[in-house]
Amino acid sequence: MNLKNGYKANRFGVVGRKLKFRSVVLGAFLILSFDFSTSAAHALKIMTMDAPGLKTLQELLSLVQLRAEEGPASSPVEYFDYKSFAANAKSLTIITFDDLNRGNGVLNGKEYVSKGLRITERSGSPINVFSAKDSGYFYPTNFNSQPNGISSSSGVNFDCPGCSDSFDFVLSTPATAAGLWIGNLNGSTEVQFLASDGSVIASEVLDENHKGVISNGAALWDNRVFYGVTSNQPIARIRTTNPASDGDGVVYDDIQFGSANRPQSITVKPKNDRKRGRPLRR
């Protein structure tokens, strides 16, 4: 009954699929269906059963152990709580911008290519590196790591309401976990996680009232929010859209990417019943 011999899959790969195997131990024919599309860490449904000699379903289950690593039950999974994201990701590369000299138009977007990230502002606006103390509209809360973040509409003693903050964060190697922080929300910023073929893996419109927003209260925009995704389909690009002339400028910080925690292969095996001195065979 060791499924590894005939059926290898992680928990993300078995949605809706049925597994059919001959149980030598039980001398019975079982059809099990594993359904991991639910929110539960794992779920086992017995769809049909023809197991002569078994008295109860519980008796069958006592012979079967399902072992699966705890983790996201579906894919993709969105996170607006950083701790949850970090708990489901590993080997994260985090781009903090804190190693850069501040200034307007100083980021050419290739600074972090060696770390696997290229940055563009899609309208071609200059990219500014700045901190809360450089702008009267920004607060330390807006930056997830101090002191710096990036923006096109704001910068060092600089405010450009007619500049968009629509960025592409392009990953050299598509990643199964990625996320970013957005600060100074006072309007809508759309974030899309895109696959290599351009398809949208996950997207969300974020504003100052969104779930997960951290606020400090000095102003409506004294805030920031995290949005991250883990996905079986690798993420090649994080795309943000914050239009020009919408009365809202934002700062991006701590762009990050790595690997989603993968569940182990599922192993179903008969429970060792010998301790109770009772043979499995009937």
Residues near Ca ion (CB under 5 A)? 96-98, 145, 148, 242, 246, 248, 253
| Shortest distance (Å) from residue 162 CB to Ca ion | 9
Whole-angstrom Cα distance, residue 84 to residue 158? 35
Task: Find out whether 149 and 137 touch, Cβ atoms under 8 Å.
Answer: no
Task: Find out whether 226 and 212 touch, Cβ atoms under 8 Å.
Answer: yes
Whole-angstrom Cα distance, residue 70 to residue 261? 9
Residue in 167, 168, 236 with CA at minimum distance from that of residue 199? 236
| Shortest distance (Å) from residue 164 CB to Ca ion | 6
Residues 6 or more apart whose CB falls under 8 angstroms from that of 58 comprise none
Q: Could you tell me which residues are beta bridge partners of residue 277?
A: none
Indicate the residue among 148 and 223 with the shorter CB distance to Ca ion: 148
CB atoms within 10 A of CB 39: 9
| Shortest distance (Å) from residue 187 CB to Ca ion | 7
Indicate the residue among 47 and 205 with the shorter CB distance to Ca ion: 205
Which residue's C-beta sits nearest to Ca ion?
145
Q: Is 41 helix (H, G, I), strand (E, B) or coil?
A: coil
Indicate the residue among 150 and 260 with the shorter CB distance to Ca ion: 150
Indicate the residue among 78 and 253 with the shorter CB distance to Ca ion: 253
| Shortest distance (Å) from residue 135 CB to Ca ion | 14
Indicate the residue among 123 and 196 with the shorter CB distance to Ca ion: 123
| Shortest distance (Å) from residue 250 CB to Ca ion | 7
Question: Quick one: DSSP state of residue 212?
Answer: T
